[in-house]
Amino acid sequence: MTIDQLKSQIEEIINRLEGETLIDTNVKSKYLGKKGLFNSLVKEIRNIEGSDKKEAGQLFNQLKETLETKLSNISQTKKVVDIDFTMPAEETKVGHMHPISQAMEEITSIFEKIGFTRSRYPEVDWDWYVFESLNMPPSHPARDEWETFFVDTPEEVSEVSYDASNPRKRHPSLVGGKMVLTTHTSNGQVREMERLKNPPIRMINIARCYRRQQDATHTQMFHQFEGLVIDEGINIQNLKGTLDYFAKEFYGEGTKSRIRPFHFQFTEPSFEVDFSCHICSGTGIKDGDKCKFCKSGWHEVGGAGMVHPNVLKAGGIDPEKYTGFAFGWGVERTYTLKEGLNIDDIRLLYSGDLRFLKQF
Ligand code: DAH
């Protein structure tokens, strides 16, 4: 027998073993028993040329090892096969998305249905996008409403030379500026205008926001979603229709929106947005008593308005030709209202306490 013939026989034995059914109890002796396939092949060493005997010996050793390992795997598998299938299975723990992530997905899909696209922008952003381009020049008192976290930036990028006649000259990509943790998702407005350059724009920007506030109703990190629509002839009716659509889709048929005059630097006119309470159907009365959830039939959720011409200009869009509306508010509040939850302490949402999170 030549070495090549021996090799092909070895291969055949291994292939055969591979094809064995796992529950054959005689399988071990069939291969490694006294009269097994291995021993019969070993006898062939007599017929191998003297000069090849050494190599043949090594091949036999390898084959023995391979057979032993494979057979022991088989017997382990066999143990598993012996398990009583009628025993009840161990409970597998199935996780789920965090309730706020679920809410973000739902909000996204509601707006996608009417042609909005979700954009993502930095959560550590230039002062320009977070405040200044939104019609809030440095030291404007309106900035105080946002309890801002400032970020140290290297000297070379924070050096600015302000030219009042040309506010865009402060644009950070040109001259630097200060950085902050985004206090609201409105930083996406001018960024989206720059990205798309030409209307129509229909953006939904959902992101983390940060403010220096931490108590039962605030977390330092929270989420907002921001809508922005710009095109020719966009008016308040379009805004109101969009708000009503969202109210109905998110809270259910019959939920309405209401807008009340307010002030924001980046919109004119500006509004606060309320949704009717879906627990008492906006009546303020539940089971003959004052509705405990809303007390008045309405819930305040956030802000909205028609994009200020200065903001359009900052984004390089001609306010003579185009108009737009924007709105923005907190995901946490929007979501807890939906569930009819009066969470005593909103910080629970981010406590990582599974006993709380498992309920959603
Ligand atoms: N950015 C505002 C805030 O954080 C909310 C807001 C108000 C967003 C009016 C808007 C808007 O887009 O038009 O309080």
Could you tell me if 148 and 59 lie in one domain? no
- As a whole number of angstroms, the distance between CA 182 and CA 135 comes to 16
Domain count, the chain: 2
* CA of residue 330 to ligand 1 center, whole Å: 10
40-73 pLDDT tens trace: 999 888 888 888 889 999 999 999 999 888 887 7
On whether residue 89 sits in a domain, the answer given is: no
Say what the pTM is. 0.72
Q: Is 27 helix (H, G, I), strand (E, B) or coil?
A: helix
Closest CA to 222 of 353, 346, 354, 360: 346
Q: Are 100 and 343 in contact (CB under 8 A)?
A: no
Amino acid letter, residue 79: K
Closest CA to 148 of 135, 133, 134, 130: 130
Residues 253 and 316 occupy one common structural domain: yes
> Do 68 and 116 lie in a common domain?
no
Contact call for residues 341 and 278 (beta carbons, < 8 A):
no
Residue 155 and residue 64 in one domain: no
| Top mutation candidate among 116, 213, 329, 332 for ligand 1, by most atoms within 8 Å of CB | 329
CA of 271 to the centre of ligand 1 (A): 9
Q: For the segment 284-327, what is each residue's pLDDT rounded down to a tens digit?
A: 998 889 988 888 899 999 999 999 999 999 999 999 999 999 99
What is the C-alpha to C-alpha distance for residues 206 and 124, in angstroms, rounded to an integer? 14
Q: Give the end of a domain, one of 75, 107, 134.
A: 75
Task: Please list, in sequence order, all residues whose beta carbon lies within 8 angstroms of the beta carbon of residue 184, skipping any fewer than 6 positions away.
Answer: 130, 146, 209, 224, 226, 328
Of 75, 110, 130, the last residue of a domain is: 75
Residues 157 and 239 grouped into a single domain: yes
Which residues form the domain of 254? 99-357
Q: How far apart are the CA of 174 and the centre of ligand 1, in A? A: 27
Return the residue whose CA atom lies nearest to atom 3 of ligand 1: 184
Tell me how far the alpha carbon of residue 250 lies from the centroid of ligand 1, in angstroms. 19
* CATH number for the domain harbouring residue 341: 3.30.930.10
